[in-house]
Structure 1
């Protein structure tokens, strides 16, 4: 992961390029056509994953379908993501993308997880167990509203 003169790592620059490609892929599309293209990209992003990343992303996808069917499926910087009114609520950041020890399920500011003065917005997931799945179901349901 080399640093560049711009201050961004090679991986960060690749993620920004990925996001630009995502925006270009739906340019000019509206309504159902845009949603369908974004949903297809989400499934393709999950299918491209391997190992634990694929297992977690697949579980999250299934959970969103079950618990938050109104969220739109899309990609965000190449990550499988789920949005309300075009704003990402929850996403999966694979470990392999940044050569990290674990992937994370993250929640953006439009997730309805507020709980007092401080709350978690990112969760490391190293294995999908019944307990992990139950926790993710509760979080996704709450985040979606």
Structure 2
């Protein structure tokens, strides 16, 4: 990631442009039409991922479908994401997006993970195991409880 005069790398600028395009693509759409467009975009984002990125994104999609079906699939800066009332609750950031060592599953402030004065909201995943899936299931259930 090479920084530019703006302080943002080319990858970061591309992500911002992608987010702007996401917003433009659903402008004027309401209700079922908007949800359908966002579901399609999320599916396309997942299908474009390979390796651990794709494996994790598909696992999170299944987990959200099972544990939190009220969350709406969409994209968030090009990442597969799941939202309630248009506000992202959980998203997958692929390692390939910013050439990082591992993908992450992250929860936003809209997730109900609060635990005392401090709690984790982002989780690195280097392998999708049964244990990882069970932990993510518990986190998603808690996030929407």
TM-score by length of structure 2 reads 0.99
Considering only aligned residues, what root-mean-square deviation do their CA atoms show, in Å?
0.5
> 1:2: Cα distance to partner?
1.6
Distance in 2 of aligned mates of 1:36 and 1:141:
24
Summarize the alignment of residues 1-145 of structure 1 with structure 2, pairs less than 5 Å apart.
Answer: 1-145=1-145
Q: Secondary structure at the match of 2:114?
A: coil
- Structure 1 stretches lacking a partner, 5+ long: none
**TM-score when normalising by structure 1:** 0.99
The number of equivalent residue pairs is: 145
What's the CA shift string for 1:88-132, capped at 9, x where partnerless? 000000000000000000000000000000000000001111100
SS in 1 for 2:104: strand
1:144 CA drift (Å): 1.4
Q: Which runs of 5+ in 2 are unaligned?
A: none
Aligned mates of 1:2, 1:96 — CA distance in 2: 16
- Pairwise CA distance, 1:4: 1.0
